[in-house]
Amino acid sequence: MDKVAFLGLGVMGAPMAGHLAKRDFDLTVYNRSAAKSEKWASIFNGRAAATIGEAVKDADIVFTCLGDDPDVSAVVDEAAQSLSTGVILVDHTTASPALARRLHDQLGAHGVGFIDAPVSGGEAGAQNGKLSIMCGGDAVHVELARPVMEAYGARIVHIGPAGHGQLAKAVNQICIAGVLQGLAEGVHFAARSGLDIERVLEAISGGAAQSWQMENRAKTMAADEFDFGFAVDWMRKDLRIALGEARENGARLPLTALVDQFYADVQAMDGGRWDTSSLIRRLSDVD
């Protein structure tokens, strides 16, 4: 697993590939925007390919970190033309479980392993190499890929067969959506009550209300600052996947559906690129 290709150098992919470069893997990167590839290569003294085929040629393991199902389908279909038997392709995109299952079967028929491995931890987790990675696919492939993923993953868990990594990521986003709405309402209530936000957070962050979101987003919520991490547009994509799966499996997600509509309100306020803690802006603007 020494020869590595990484396709997709966005907010998450660029630092993830950077950690691989620092570990001295024989790494080639590719991005549809050549300017991003060139910038990455100049920062990490790395090798950027002009085409997907060039990037994955002779690779032992290929990583993709893209936007949505159509992006993954297009890139993987093109990469597959240059992949040899025994290669493992790891998709870090948050995409649909159905796509993961299809790609697992499609690539597997040609002797190529596929792992759906969405990540959690946001831009900061990618930059610090502390991501949580949820893997779906064959156990043997996950174990072969694990030493490489450890370059940027602090927690790597094999959830189950193909698609289960994406289903676990849906659980992650369902939980985050509910926590963020509760936190937004709590901070909003505190402000309306004339409370000292700093003291309130000091008091409650050591108790049962404590969460990662409270520790990292409550103060910026109160300060009306929303340029930190995961964007509303991407959260709505993830919740679309979760709600679609719920319709298929019969799960009842009333709070998730409601928060999804709240995020639609934020988008209507031109907040699609604000981070997900911007739910509180909707409460302030409802007055």
CA atoms of 167 and 245, how far apart (whole Å): 8
**3, 36, 39, 169: which is the annotated catalytic residue?**
169
pLDDT of amino acid 129 = 96
- Mean pLDDT of all residues belonging to the chain: 95
CA atoms of 208 and 215, how far apart (whole Å): 13
Contact 154, 129 (CB under 8 A): yes
Positions of CATH 1.10.1040.10 in the chain: 167-285
Looking at per-residue pLDDT, the higher value among 235 and 2 belongs to 235
- Across the range 233-258, mean pLDDT stands at 97
If you search the block for the tokens 């409270």, which residue do you land on? 214
Supply the pTM of this predicted model: 0.94
Positions of CATH 3.40.50.720 in the chain: 3-160
Give the CB-side neighbour count of residue 204, counting CA atoms within 13 A: 18
Task: Tell me which of 1.10.150.20, 1.10.1040.10, 3.40.50.800, 1.10.3330.10 is the CATH number of domain 167-285.
Answer: 1.10.1040.10
User: What's domain 3-160's superfamily in CATH?
Assistant: NAD(P)-binding Rossmann-like Domain (3.40.50.720)
- Across the range 175-188, mean pLDDT stands at 98
Q: Is 169 a catalytic residue?
A: yes
